[in-house]
Amino acid sequence: MTEPDLALYGLRLSGHSHRAELFLSLLGLPFRFVEAAGAAQRGAAAFRRLNPLGQIPVLTDGDTVIADSNAILVYLAVRYAPDSGWMPGDPLGAAQVQRWLSIAAGEVRYGPALARLMVVFGAQADRATVHAAAARILTFMDGHLADRPYLATDRATLADIACYSYVAHAPEGGVSLAPYPAVRAWLARVEALPGFVPMPTSSIPEPV
Ligand SMILES: N[C@@H](CCC(=O)N[C@@H](CS)C(=O)NCC(=O)O)C(=O)O
C-alpha cells in the first residue's frame, strides 16, 4: 500500500480534534496537522469547501474529505485497521460502540465538554444545568466501568477514543473527577495505550 496522504484540520485545544489526532497516533499513521484556529479561518471559502458547517475536525485522505470527529474515527478504523477490534464487526459489538459514539456527541458534549468550553472559551450556558449533566453522565460511566476495563467491549475501541478527551479534561471546566474512581482508572488505561498522545491542558488552573 502506498503511504497515505493524510491531513487533519483541527485545533490543539479541541477535544473533538484531539480524538481524531489520538486515533491517528494510536494507529501509527503519519499525518499533517493543520491548525484551523479562528472563526475567520473556519469561515473561509477554502475551509467551507471541506466542511460547510465550518467545524473542525476535518480529515483529508488524498482527495477524500471526512468531516466530524466520530466519522473520522469510523473511517480510519475501517480504512486502515479493519479486523483490529477498534470498530467491531459483530452486531452487538458494533451497537455497543455506536452507543458510546452517541454519548460522546450527546451527554459528554453537553456535560463535561460544555463546562470546559464555558471556562476555557467563554461559551454561554447555565452552569448549574451543565454541571448537573456532567455529574449524570460521569456517574453513569463510573458505574458502567466498575466491572469492565473499557466502555464497549473488553478491549479499547472507538468508544473509548471518542469519550476520552473531554472526560480527561473535565477538571478544566471545574468538573472534578475525584468522585469517579472507575473513570479515572479507565482514563489511565487509555493513556497507557501504545501511541497515546495527550491533549494540551489549557492554562486555567484545575480545581482539586
Ligand atoms: N459533531 C462535530 C462537532 C465538532 C465541533 O463542535 N467543533 C467545534 C470546535 S470543538 C467547532 O468547530 N466549532 C465551530 C462552529 O461550530 O462554528 C464533530 O464531532 O466533529
Residues, the chain, total? 208
**Residuewise pLDDT in 10s, the chain (208 residues):** 678 999 999 999 999 999 999 999 999 999 999 998 776 677 788 899 999 999 999 999 999 999 999 999 999 999 999 999 999 999 999 999 999 999 999 999 999 999 999 999 999 999 999 999 999 999 999 999 999 999 999 999 999 999 999 999 999 999 999 999 999 999 999 999 999 999 999 865 444 3
Q: Report cis status (omega within 30 of 0) of the bond before 181.
A: no
- Identify the residue whose cell numbers are 480527561: 168
Q: How far is CA 90 from CA 7, 101, 102, 146, 156, in A?
A: 30, 16, 18, 24, 15
Write down the pLDDT at residue 206: 46
**pLDDT (tens digit, 9 = 90+) per residue, 51-74?**
999 999 999 999 999 999 999 999
Instruction: Give the Å distance between the CA of 1 and the centre of ligand 1.
Output: 32
Instruction: Give the Å distance between the CA of 130 and the centre of ligand 1.
Output: 18
Instruction: Give the Å distance between the CA of 86 and the centre of ligand 1.
Output: 23
Atom of ligand 1 nearest to the CA of 72: 20
Residue 183: which of 202, 163, 198, 203 has the closest Cα?
Answer: 163
Instruction: Give the Å distance between the CA of 155 and the centre of ligand 1.
Output: 28
Atom of ligand 1 nearest to the CA of 55: 12
- Which residue is closest in CA terms to ligand 1's atom 6? 55
Burial 104-136 (b: 16+ CB within 10 A, else e): bbebbbbbbbbbbbbbbeeeeeeeeebbebbbe
pTM of the shown model: 0.95
Atom of ligand 1 nearest to the CA of 17: 10
Binding pocket residue ranges, ligand 1, CB within 6 Å: 14, 16, 42, 54-57, 68-70, 105
Write down the pLDDT at residue 39: 66
The answer to whether residues 161 and 19 touch, using CB atoms and an 8 Å cutoff, is yes
Dist. CA 59–CA 33, nearest whole Å: 9
Instruction: Give the Å distance between the CA of 49 and the centre of ligand 1.
Output: 16
Q: Which of 42, 55, 108, 166 has most ligand 1 atoms within 8 Å of its beta carbon, as the pocket-test mutant?
A: 55
Instruction: Give the Å distance between the CA of 9 and the centre of ligand 1.
Output: 11
Helix, coil or strand: residue 183: helix
Across the beta sheet with 6-10, what order do the strands follow?
32-35, 6-10, 58-61, 64-67
